[in-house]
Amino acid sequence: MDLAPAAFPVAERNAVVIESAPVGRRYHRLRLDAPDLSALSRPGQFFHLLCRDGAGSGPYLRRPMSIWRCGADEPLGFLFHVKGRGTAALAALRAGDRLSVVGPLGQGFTLHPSWRRILILARGVGLATLAPLTEAAARMGIAVEAVLSARDPADLMAEEFAGHSGAHVFPVLDADGSSDPLAVEALLRARFEAARPDAVFTCGSNRLLLLLQRLSAEYAIPGQVALEQQMGCGLGMCFCCVRPIRAPDGGTVNLRVCAEGPVFDLQAALGW
Amino acid sequence: MVDLATRIGAITLANPVMPASGTFGPELAQVFDLDALGALVTKSVTPEPRAGNPLPRLCETEAGILNSIGIPGKGLDHFIAHAIPEWRRFRPPLIVSLSAGTNAAFAEAAARLAETPGIAAIEANISCPNLEEDGRAFAMFPESAAAAIAAMRARCALPIWAKLSPNTGDIAAVARAVEEAGADAIVVANTILGLAIDIETARPRLGAGMGGFSGPAFKPIALRLTWQCAQAVRIPLIGVGGIATAEDAVEFMMAGATAVQIGTASFVSPTAMMQVIEGLRDFCTRRGFTRSADLTGLALPGRRLAAE
């Protein structure tokens, strides 16, 4: 059933699952048959998913899920950490099952055509939110360097991140100490000096957000961050997902992560 | 053909389905044509700007949600200058939900809204705390509910819909009191106070502590309140509480509601209101009702389905 004609930018739709597969020890990926929604979607946007397993069991409210794969020639995809009831129900879906999606929603990342190079800093499954940016940048001729932080090689998911985009990945790991904040700072400084990016992007770690805010302010590089928050409606109606965001006047203002976000200016975001 | 036209006093709605205040906004126009709704109901506006409550503002239960959002907003001046013009892009009658802390503040704000073009009715959210009664909700007691409605009635020629609270011992007495005070319709009911506790931290799961419970698990209570009010007053009732499907809406109409509001269900399915309108038409067709208005009150004592 699809009650939303194409004239409406947000659809509520039962989409057929075409792939459901575990990734590493803790993650899972889903791909859906919804080519029109995939083509409409932009990196950084999200869908609101009704997390019910094949037997219809799952939490009452939908769950916001950032887009991992999208585009005119790519099935709509989600990559997530199987952590609670909602993601467990999603991981229990099998090819051929239906998943009710609402979206695409929210404000995505911005890429300027004049940019030559961007740098992405991601921790854990935060890379899923930033992954579609690599393909979009590649299509615009923008080079991508990515510092991916993970526990160990099994959690890194460099392939899931970069796809066919040709992004240059610098892995940093807890297992060998290279993800230590001082080591990551040294790596970022080295990259900023060697190949200054026109913009930086991050998602998934408070510590890395604060580090990237500090360094990009020092180097005067603009940035964007995708934030997460518990949501009710996902559309901007319930005001449950607000976060304090720095206003131009120096104060803070409560903005809705679902409607004004989830992507915000890097320096306007507050750590959590 | 089924006629879904619905009259609430002097106002005619194209159908009996409208949103519940606080769960709706112009953002839903991204999903479907809001002109298909029976009416539009705004979030509650307050005389002064309000920041809203601390987070978390919402938590989930097995078949419903608790919320304590705290009516964040930019206040009445901003609402009249900016929100009303945005709402006037749409055709259905505009119902402005109004909340205030004192009878005088209710009256003053109602007078301002009455001077503002484009408003079909005021929904008086008297489930909010009465600052002159130790913060107990106006709608908890017949006297305080009636005093708020009477104060508005004296200053406002627009129809006034009194939105009652389930947090009262005698809903019929409150309904009679607001009818006598001049309310044109009754919306029954707001959320019921509830609580959830995070046992890992031994703290309430909502930032504000208690919250209003809504959703499918609340439906039998709201239906009972509607049924009790229907036997207590003559003014039209708008039923609200846990309605997610057309079948739910038909239950509320049979219990005495002239129209229904849908709230929490729109979070789970943004198209829920459209599905209810279509389902209501289908039900009437299947059971041979030419007018959905004929469903109102069919389940009340002394009423029954006409013999086939």
Cross-chain Cβ contact A240/B57 below 8 Å: yes
pLDDT tens figures, B132-169: 777 789 999 999 999 999 999 999 999 999 999 999 99
pLDDT tens figures, B26-79: 999 999 999 999 999 999 999 999 999 999 999 999 999 999 999 999 999 999
Question: Is the omega angle on the peptide bond into residue B189 within 30 degrees of 0, that is, cis?
Answer: yes
| Res A268: pLDDT | 97
**Is A141 exposed, middle or buried, given 0-12, 13-18 or 19+ CB atoms closer than 10 A?**
exposed
Judging contacts by C-beta atoms under 8 Å, the chain A residues touching residue B215 are 60
Q: Given the DSSP bridges, would you call strands B6-8 and B11-13 parallel, antiparallel or unpaired? A: antiparallel
Estimate the crossing angle of helix B103-114 against helix B142-155, to 10 degrees: 30
pLDDT tens figures, A123-156: 988 999 999 999 999 999 999 999 999 999 988 9
- Does the pLDDT value for residue B260 go beyond 90? yes
User: What is the pTM assigned to this prediction?
Assistant: 0.96
For chain B, the domains span: 6-295
Q: How would residue B307 be classed by pLDDT, with cut points 50, 70 and 90?
A: low
Does A261 belong to an annotated binding site?
no
CATH number of the B6-295 domain: 3.20.20.70
Domains of chain A: 11-105 (2.40.30.10), 117-226 (3.40.50.80)
Confirm or reject contact between A259 and chain B (CB < 8 A).
yes
| Res B136: pLDDT | 86
Confirm or reject contact between A244 and chain B (CB < 8 A).
no
Residues in B whose CB is inside 8 Å of some CB of A read: 22-25, 27-28, 30-32, 51-52, 55-58, 60-65, 67, 69, 72, 215, 266-271, 274-275
CA B268 to chain A, closest CA, distance in angstroms equals 6
Strand blocks (E) in chain B: 6-8, 11-13, 17-19, 40-41, 58-61, 64-67, 94-98, 121-125, 160-163, 185-188, 192-194, 197-198, 203-204, 211-214, 237-240, 259-262
| Res A6: pLDDT | 55
Confirm or reject contact between A102 and chain B (CB < 8 A).
yes
Instruction: Write the ipTM.
Output: 0.95
Judging contacts by C-beta atoms under 8 Å, the chain A residues touching residue B212 are none
- Among the partner residues B31, B62, B69, nearest to A238 by beta-carbon distance: B69
Dist. CA A136–CA A71, nearest whole Å: 9
